[in-house]
Structures are given as structure tokens and as C-alpha cells.
Structure 1
Amino acid sequence: MPLFVATACAAPAVPVTVAPHATDPVCAEVVLATPDSLGEGLDRLDTTSQATTAWGEPTAAVVLRCGVEPLGPTTERCVTVETADGTAVDWVVVADDPQDEAGSDWTFTTYGRVPAVEVRVPAAVASARSTSFVDALGPAVSLATAERSCVGLDAF
């Protein structure tokens, strides 16, 4: 009798550098509370590090890292992103290449939350869709304690 072995093809894990404070227990709660999808084509992927998750394609993934260094006072653009349920999160939004924002990777870092959370959006994703999916992360990210907020906020 022939023996058949079933194998599954899985996407490779997205390599992610662990954040310095990834062992904070709140990071586990944040990552577990993130959505399985950030919209069409942005489904959850496996990652290689604790307190991280990713969505999209392994070669151009949106990556969340919990436990990054909290930001101090900054003159960078800070926006409050509010979800339909009223959850609000302050994010400092920075283009990696301010001279070419349309073709740039973007970094969203929570402001005033401990532990801090960073979301990296590659140019391939940012140029193909709005980054408004960041609001879907609000309920998970709000599990990190808000200790302060941005002043002179932009609405997003």
C-alpha cells in the first residue's frame, strides 16, 4: 500500500529584530490582541521574535514591535488615531525619506504609552493603500498604559 505524506507550504517567518523591552508582560497582551488582518492582502504572518507580529507579504510586511524605547519630547508629526469604538492612540509618524514621502517606508511609534509600540509600513504597502489601517491596532495598543499625550495634535 502506497504511503502518502501530506505537507503544507507555509510562508516563511518575517525576520524581525526584538525590541529592547519585549519581555514586558503587556507586550504579550498587545500582540495577542492584534487583529488577524489589516484588510485585503494584509493577513497575519509569523515572525521570528518575541512581542512582534506582521501582516501582508513576507518581503513587504507591515511589522509591529512592542517594547521599543518610549519616545521623549519630539517635534516630529504626532497624530491621534481614533477608532469607531472611541479608542484613541497618539502616534508619532515619520517617513524614512522625508524628501520622497510617496516612495518612503513609514514608522508609526506610540507616544506616551508604556511599553511603546512601533509599526513599520513599507513603501510598497503605503503607496498601494492608505495607512488608515493603523486604527485597527488601536484596541490592542491601548492595552499599554497611556502616561502622556501629544500637544498640538493632528487628527488622522
Structure 2
Amino acid sequence: MPRRHTARAVTLAVPVLAAALLALTGCTPTVSLDPASGANDPGCAEVSVRLPDTVAGKAQRETNAQATGAWGDPAAVLLRCGVPPIGPTTKPCITVSGIDWVLMTDPAAKTIVYQTFGRTPATEVIIDHVSGVSDAAVLPEFSGAIAAIKQTQKCLSTLDTDSTPSPTPSR
């Protein structure tokens, strides 16, 4: 008789476990992203395995594209590794935790895009300011992951360059 009780318990437990698993996976649907053109670069694999579990207090979510990341529900922070690197630019550049970032969008925009500078492949981070997440809470979180890609060029702010006019020879 013990076999009947065991079989009956298993028969009852399977639907309960399946429902629990479905409920857990159904709460956070996969975030759909387009991979960057260089997402298959080995540097992106190094970044991907070092991505944080949380960013600005937002939990990491599953994405459907290689070398991407998403945090928050709805997603407040997105990351794509493998974007084409940018060269010298007049766009604002900041260094956060040893990583040079270029602000690619208007700082007053609702969605802000930063891109790494001097690292190939480059990585972009998209921050939804409507969600209440700040740049200062997001960018430092990626320093460990981004540092896996060697920096070959330093980004200089326009404040770092000599903007005094060259003297003209007098006649």
C-alpha cells in the first residue's frame, strides 16, 4: 500500500510544482533586444559573464539577444556590447570608476545613452530616466564588467584640452 500513497502524492505534486514554476517564470518575461553588430566579439563574452545581478536596485532580467543585459521590470537599464566604437568626439565625456563614457544623447532626454570610449568592442548603456534611475546609480555598476575590455585610448573632456588661442606672430 505505501506505493499507492507515494504515486498519489507524486501525481498531486507535479501539477502544483508545474504551476509554481510557470508562475515564477511568467512574472518576468524576456526582454527583447537587438544584438549589436559586434556582439559575437570575445570581449563581449567577457563583459557578459561579469554583468551585475542588480543595477541601481533593479534586478537583472533575461534577454533574447547575445551580449545584452536588462535590469528592472519594466526595464529601466539596458546594455548592449559590440556597438561600433566611436573616435574623437566633442560630445561630453566622463570617467566613472575608471571607465570612460561618452554621453550620446541630450542630457535632458527621458532616455539617456552612454557609450564606452577607447575600448573595442564598445558597450552602450541606455537609462530610462522616467523610471527614476539616475546615471550616477547606474554607470559605476558596470565598471567591473567593462574593465574586462582593455582601454586603448583615453577620452578627454573639452575642459581637459587647451582651448587658449595660439598667439599670432606680430609684424
> Higher strand proportion, which one?
1
CA RMSD of aligned residues (A): 1.8
Q: Which structure exhibits the higher relative contact order, with contacts defined as CA atoms closer than 8 Å and separated by 6 or more residues?
A: 1
Pairs aligned (count): 141
Task: Name 1:85's counterpart in structure 2.
Answer: none
The counterpart of 2:102, out of the listed 92, 95, 99, is 92
The counterpart of 1:34, out of the listed 19, 40, 51, is 51
The counterpart of 2:155, out of the listed 145, 150, 155, is 150
Task: Name 1:44's counterpart in structure 2.
Answer: 60
Q: Is the 8 A contact 1:114 1:144 kept in 2?
A: yes
Residue 148 of structure 1 aligns to a residue whose secondary structure is: coil
The counterpart of 2:142, out of the listed 137, 146, 153, is 137
What is the TM-score normalised by the length of structure 2? Answer: 0.76
Q: CA deviation at 1:129?
A: 3.3
Look at both structures and tell me which one has the larger radius of gyration over its CA atoms. 2
Structure 1 14/153 Cα, relative in aligned 2: closer, same or farther at 3 Å? farther
Task: Name 2:72's counterpart in structure 1.
Answer: 56
Which stretches in structure 1 are left out of the alignment for 5+ residues?
Answer: 83-87
What stretches of structure 1 move > 3 A for 4+ residues in a row?
Answer: none
Q: CA deviation at 1:89?
A: 0.4
Structure 1 153/56 Cα, relative in aligned 2: closer, same or farther at 3 Å? farther
What is the TM-score normalised by the length of structure 1? Answer: 0.82
Residue 76 of structure 2 aligns to a residue whose secondary structure is: strand
Structure 1 70/148 Cα, relative in aligned 2: closer, same or farther at 3 Å? same
Structure 1 45/153 Cα, relative in aligned 2: closer, same or farther at 3 Å? farther
Alpha-carbon distance in structure 1 between the residues aligned to 2:31 and 2:76: 8
Q: CA deviation at 1:39?
A: 3.0
Task: Name 2:127's counterpart in structure 1.
Answer: 121
For 2:30, give the aligned amino acid: A
Structure 1 12/75 Cα, relative in aligned 2: closer, same or farther at 3 Å? same
Q: CA deviation at 1:49?
A: 0.2
Alpha-carbon distance in structure 2 between the residues aligned to 1:124 and 1:31: 26
For 1:79, give the aligned amino acid: I
Alpha-carbon distance in structure 2 between the residues aligned to 1:60 and 1:28: 22
* Identity in percent: 35
Alpha-carbon distance in structure 2 between the residues aligned to 1:45 and 1:106: 20
Q: CA deviation at 1:130?
A: 2.2
Q: Is the 8 A contact 1:60 1:124 kept in 2?
A: no
Q: Is the 8 A contact 1:77 1:92 kept in 2?
A: yes
Matched, 1:71 2:76: no
Which stretches in structure 2 are left out of the alignment for 5+ residues?
Answer: 1-7, 160-171
